């Protein structure tokens, strides 16, 4: 495995992600921001943030597999949520939890959460991009 995730002393311990990702692999994989589209380009979970987060994670899992990797290889996630407010956190975590159960992983790489005004189409509530490192 090319990624080691750590929470160094002196930084807060956050349950849903680690503060630092140490990459030792040689192949970088940059995954475009994934939205809640199925393989046919149809939006999944219109109006449902948890369902859309789940679909984004599943799409990232598919992209990683296509590159020969898995969530164990993710060095960094960036999450963009339309009209973010802290009260949306339970829905975000629910979507991550559902996707993690389906993927059989515990996705806790370093992550940045950004609130945005809008995404590519009005029905998309979240977009998640990933950077992975493979051996």
Report d(CA 66, CA 63) in Å as an integer. 5
Angstrom distance (rounded) from CA 127 to CA 95: 13
Per-residue pLDDT of the chain (135 residues; tens, 9 = 90+): 789 999 999 999 988 899 999 999 899 999 999 999 999 999 999 999 999 999 999 999 999 999 999 999 999 999 999 999 999 999 999 999 999 999 999 989 999 999 999 999 999 999 999 999 999
Q: Quick one: CA dihedral 24, 25, 31, 34, positive or negative?
A: negative
The pLDDT assigned to 88 comes to 98
What is the edge-to-edge ordering of all strands in the sheet holding 111-116?
Answer: 27-34, 126-134, 74-82, 111-116
pTM (two decimals): 0.92
pLDDT at residue 107, as a whole number: 87
| Residues 34/59, Cβ–Cβ less than 8 Å | yes
């Amino acid at each position: 495995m090319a990624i080691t995730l750590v929470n160094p002393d002196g930084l807060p311990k956050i349950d849903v992600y680690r503060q630092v990702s140490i990459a030792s692999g040689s192949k970088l994989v940059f995954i475009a921001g994934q939205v809640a589209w199925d393989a046919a380009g149809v939006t999944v979970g219109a109006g449902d943030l948890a369902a859309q987060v789940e679909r984004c994670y599943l799409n990232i899992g598919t992209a990683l597999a296509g590159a020969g990797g898995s969530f164990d290889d993710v060095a960094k996630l960036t999450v963009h949520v339309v009209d973010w407010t802290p009260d949306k956190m339970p829905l975000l975590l629910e979507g991550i939890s559902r996707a993690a159960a389906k993927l059989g992983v515990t996705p806790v790489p370093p992550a940045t959460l950004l609130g945005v005004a809008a995404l590519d189409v009005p029905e998309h509530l979240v977009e998640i991009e990933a950077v992975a490192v493979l051996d």
